[in-house]
Amino acid sequence: MASLRLGDEAPNFTADSSVGTINLYDYLGDSWGILFSHPADFTPVCTTELGTAAQFKDEFDKRNVKMIALSVDGAESHKEWIKDINEVQNTTVTFPIIADEDKKVSTLYDMIHPNADSSLTVRSVFIIGPDKKVKLTLTYPASTGRNFYELLRVIDSLQLTANHKVATPANWKNGEKVVVSPAIATSDAIKIFPKGVEEIKPYLRMTPDPTA
Ligand code: BEZ
Annotation marks residue 46 as catalytic? yes
Pocket probe for ligand 1: among 143, 144, 146, the residue whose CB has the most ligand atoms within 8 Å is 143
Query: In the 3-class helix/strand/coil scheme, how is the chain assigned residue by residue?
Result: CCCCCCCCECCCCEECECCCCEEHHHHHCCCEEEEEECCCCCCHHHHHHHHHHHHCHHHHHHCCEEEEEEECCCHHHHHHHHHHHHHHHCCCCCCCEEECCCCHHHHHCCCCCCCCCCCCCCEEEEEECCCCEEEEEEEECCCCCCCHHHHHHHHHHHHHHHHCCEECCCCCCCCCCEEECCCCCHHHHHHHCCCCCEEEECCEEEECCCCC
Q: What is the pTM of this model?
A: 0.96
Q: What is the mean pLDDT of residues 168-176?
A: 97
Segment 92-116, tens digit of pLDDT: 999 999 999 999 999 999 999 999 9
Query: In the predicted model, what is the mean pLDDT of the chain?
Result: 97
Asked if residue 1 has pLDDT above 70, the reply is no
Pocket of ligand 1 (CB under 6 A): 39-40, 43-46, 142-143
Active-site position among 10, 46, 112, 120 = 46
CA of 76 to the centre of ligand 1 (A): 20
Q: Mutation test of ligand 1: which of 37, 42, 45 has the most ligand atoms closer than 8 Å to its C-beta?
A: 45
**Percentage of the chain lying above the pLDDT 70 cut:** 99
pLDDT at 185 over 70: yes
